[in-house]
Structure 1
């Protein structure tokens, strides 16, 4: 059976629930790579380390922009996660930080402060999933006067894709709970979601050119006007914020340069051959990891998508799981995903900048949350979260027993 025939069942399944063409084409590209048995591996011999980069402390910016970059910017937050690893049943962004203020409130405060700075309507887009949309929009009703409540103003919906039967490579069928036949496509879905939803065209039509994208649980990821000005002046189509790897980051994806074309790329642990794992974990060799704080030129993104028939050629990542993640004896499946940071290799002239560790402060565990709620951090009126000066730049290290790993424990 040729790839087109093999894919037909997937296309029918996706169209039946109203999936957009951009999402279907992106999934088809990854599925056909799977049929070709492409591993997505990036051997050490194909890359070289990145040793030096511009740093945030040493960039120069120009005020000679008309209109100023802030007036042409959108903040996009990935908001599809439920935080199940912390025992949450709802959106992680609704987790309280201090005194009834949650992650989402801080994001809104940051955008409102940017609006005050620029006297323009800096936009906020939340990339929600089907699991987070309702609760997120309900919470945002308190910001209706700021045009941050309606889905038509703030919501970019994440797509979902079919799980693949590991033995047959056909769409998995699970009558017990059909919802388990679907999975998220990874945050690389940002690009087909922007294109397929119409948001990309709408933003460009409104004069928006620059997008700052980050994870909603990274409270250090704020739109920094200095980085925006640097990005605008550089003319680069894509900018990745990276920071120095530590021993704790050895298994996290790192930045490298491909020898074949001299482009920057992102290598995740799932893309590293076993034989190269020691080199992957060598934090002196591969010094920088992706904070997932990205800057995009939306006009360049649209051009790249048009050139690729609506698809960015992101490396495919395959994950082997079971259709019911709570039942290890259920049908074995393959879930395909892409990483949004991997788009750095899709653009000529894409760049990276080294930023302080303070711009990477994700809340992944209850220990992270406890630290955030402590007096080691300051939560400012403009939504910024800062280490207290008494910490001298050193975050607290908190270790909790297993009995405290869930929020309600």
Structure 2
């Protein structure tokens, strides 16, 4: 692949107001693309990660002094388009009249009230999610958690690259298609480029807990905060045991050459190594996308790298108009937030229970979250009920329920004792349906499930 010309990208990004830190991060990845670096991590170069420390929730109390040095950052840039939404995903209701964003705010407010510590919250919004998020906060959030200047960290955008010419991709009919998100690895240039990193450090904030806004299992934990602070590690990744459902998810590994922990995403796996990548007995640990950062060490590491963390590049092949497969082929360059584990000497990982990993990626996930298998505390914490012992119910819904609006007609059975529920075709659960164990419903025509215990 020939050397491209970065000047048109730099000019385009500068004109769009993209911060310099993000431009330099994109430059690094673009130059790697031009050198025809694949970003692939072959199986022969890594060993499986083993015998990690295990997190235990002992019901400890928060240390107000540590809380005062902590910021909670939620990745909030995603829209729920795959679930039929035209707004930010965190505005999905978890309980009637209560959405993800409400619960996140309630968690922070409760911590502030119960400990007296000024726990900070940052929402990493995208250009697509900012207006919806700030509009909702203006109407519902308490003082100190409403304004952009108080809670918003803006995600950057980067140009798509014409796969044939390595020039910025063009789409005159829909210029917005010329841009794409840079992946959640953009957290680091966004923090430094926005000024938030310096501001937090100046306010005495030393620790950051980062997770996805659609993962209500990822809450600030007193045990993990204390463990991280005492470890003096610069970076901590929460991982959990892989299941067959996680075979395509990024896994933790050790680089043979230096013993450094690293994250390998499926896009970084050579095709010939996919079988080993998906071997959940070999590669046991799945990245939950919840991490802990020492902000002072991050600042130093960024300064050493000229404002850029050397995150591995991820190449994605797409078309400039995602809905038109005949449109111009493009390359989208991304980085993963968790991949920074290999950028910090002394970085660690810790195994957490599945209860801390409950993201809502499908309508089936939301259906389970809305059920009685989960409980919502007054402090905004959402957790599996104790009798489930950290194991969520598995819900597989028919394609007709792909969009969340369709759940309104499905009904709400009890899933407190459910191991797996499968819905095939049109089904209506009447009041009083209890799923105990494994059950499957549906077939041709409409299936109405009367009150009772199934199977």
TM-score normalised per structure 1: 0.96
Q: Is the partner of 1:142 in helix, strand or coil?
A: helix
In structure 1, stretches of 5+ residues that fail to align are: none
User: Could you tell me whether the CA contact under 8 Å between 1:61 and 1:230 is conserved in 2?
Assistant: no
Q: 1:392 deviation in Å?
A: 4.2
- Which whole-Å CA distance do the structure 2 matches of 1:58 and 1:321 have between them? 42
Moved more, 84-93 or 274-283: 274-283
Aligned match for 2:291, one of 287, 290, 294: 294
- Which whole-Å CA distance do the structure 1 matches of 2:221 and 2:61 have between them? 14
Question: Are 1:7 and 2:2 matched, yes or no?
Answer: no
- Which whole-Å CA distance do the structure 1 matches of 2:242 and 2:28 have between them? 32
Alignment partner, residue 439 of structure 2: none
Where do residues 7-406 of structure 1 align in structure 2 (5 Å cutoff)? 7-57=6-56, 68-143=65-140, 145-406=142-403
- Which whole-Å CA distance do the structure 1 matches of 2:303 and 2:368 have between them? 45
Cα distance change of structure 1 residues 61 and 312 upon mapping to structure 2, 3 Å threshold? farther
Moved more, 302-311 or 378-387: 378-387
User: Could you tell me whether the CA contact under 8 Å between 1:144 and 1:150 is conserved in 2?
Assistant: no
More helix by share: 1
**Greater gyration radius:** 2
In structure 2, stretches of 5+ residues that fail to align are: 407-455
Q: Deviations over 1:57-86 (max 9, x none)?
A: 2999999x8x72111000000000001110
**Superposed structure 1 runs of 4+ greater than 4 Å apart:** 58-63
RMSD between superposed Cα atoms in Å: 1.8
Q: Deviations over 1:233-276 (max 9, x none)?
A: 00000000000001111111100011112110000111111121
Highest RCO, 1 vs 2 (Cα 8 Å, sep ≥ 6): 1
User: Could you tell me whether the CA contact under 8 Å between 2:355 and 2:391 is conserved in 1?
Assistant: no
Q: 1:117 deviation in Å?
A: 3.4
More strand by share: 2
User: Could you tell me whether the CA contact under 8 Å between 2:311 and 2:339 is conserved in 1?
Assistant: yes
TM-score normalised per structure 2: 0.86
User: Could you tell me whether the CA contact under 8 Å between 1:62 and 1:233 is conserved in 2?
Assistant: no
Moved more, 254-263 or 380-389: 380-389
Alignment partner, residue 408 of structure 1: 405
User: Could you tell me whether the CA contact under 8 Å between 1:80 and 1:128 is conserved in 2?
Assistant: yes
- Which whole-Å CA distance do the structure 2 matches of 1:174 and 1:87 have between them? 25
- Which whole-Å CA distance do the structure 2 matches of 1:372 and 1:60 have between them? 23
Cα distance change of structure 1 residues 281 and 322 upon mapping to structure 2, 3 Å threshold? same
